[in-house]
Amino acid sequence: MQEMLSTLATPVAADTGKSLLEYIAQGGWIGLIIIILSFIAVVMIVAQLVRVRRHALAPPDAVETLDRHLSAGDVDAAIAFCDDADNDSFLTRVMGAALVRCNRSPFGFLELKAALEEVGQLQVARLHRLTDGINLVASIAPMLGLLGTVVGMVGAFDAIQAADGPVRPDALAGSISQALITTVLGLIVAIPCTAAYTYLRTRIDALADEVGEVIEDLAAHLESTAAPAGAGRGA
């Protein structure tokens, strides 16, 4: 019994003494590409986390200013505010484009709701573009890992074929290490990228709904206007 316990207490494998960078280096050029993709993914995730915030999509100052202009019926001032580059946001892009479209339409603000929905969908799609880049990294990384696995196994079989007599384990170790390490790297990059992609997509949709409610409240000031003063201005 004591012999069995001492056997179980013995480490399964000795410490190789290799650093993390040394393991990554064994992944070769494919591993390097995966590492570069991981940095790109981190940049995109951070950028989206900064962009996809309630205050960034609909700044309180912009909401207050548009509410003041639209409640007073000053559509031109609202459009000018939205067109100002310093006020650029999801809210101003949607409201500005919809107001311009209605101001030039013979139907006036009767089609305001349709215009807001159409422009809003385009702006939501714009928010999704960078998120789709994260999903692309999540899809490519494991495929590159699989490619590294295949390349490593091909190298191992080439070593077996070229060997004159029994194959030494150290002749296969490099290729097999590359095969396994690239697979691990690909999964390490793909798993968090997939989680981040799902989170950001859900967050974008949720915040878009919240901002949509704000836009509806602002549009309520004009929905009762059947023929705005500038209805035929673009004719």
Residue 101 burial (CB count, 10 A): 17
From CA 98, how far away is CA 118, in angstroms rounded? 9
DSSP H helical ranges for the chain: 2-9, 20-25, 28-51, 54-57, 60-71, 75-83, 90-104, 112-162, 169-219
Are 220 and 69 in contact by the 8 Å Cβ rule? The answer is no
Predicted pLDDT at 13: 41
**Residue carrying structure tokens 């170790």:** 173
pTM above 0.75, yes or no: no
pLDDT tens string, the chain, 235 residues long: the values are 345 334 434 443 444 555 656 656 666 788 889 999 999 999 999 999 998 888 888 899 989 988 888 888 888 888 899 888 888 889 889 888 888 887 776 666 667 788 888 888 888 988 888 789 999 999 999 998 888 877 777 666 555 555 565 555 555 555 566 677 888 888 999 999 999 999 999 999 999 999 988 888 888 877 655 444 444 444 3
Predicted pLDDT at 198: 94
Predicted pLDDT at 150: 76
Are 227 and 75 in contact by the 8 Å Cβ rule? The answer is no
From CA 119, how far away is CA 99, in angstroms rounded? 10
From CA 153, how far away is CA 168, in angstroms rounded? 16
Angle of CA points 97, 102, 104, to nearest 5°: 100
From CA 220, how far away is CA 235, in angstroms rounded? 25
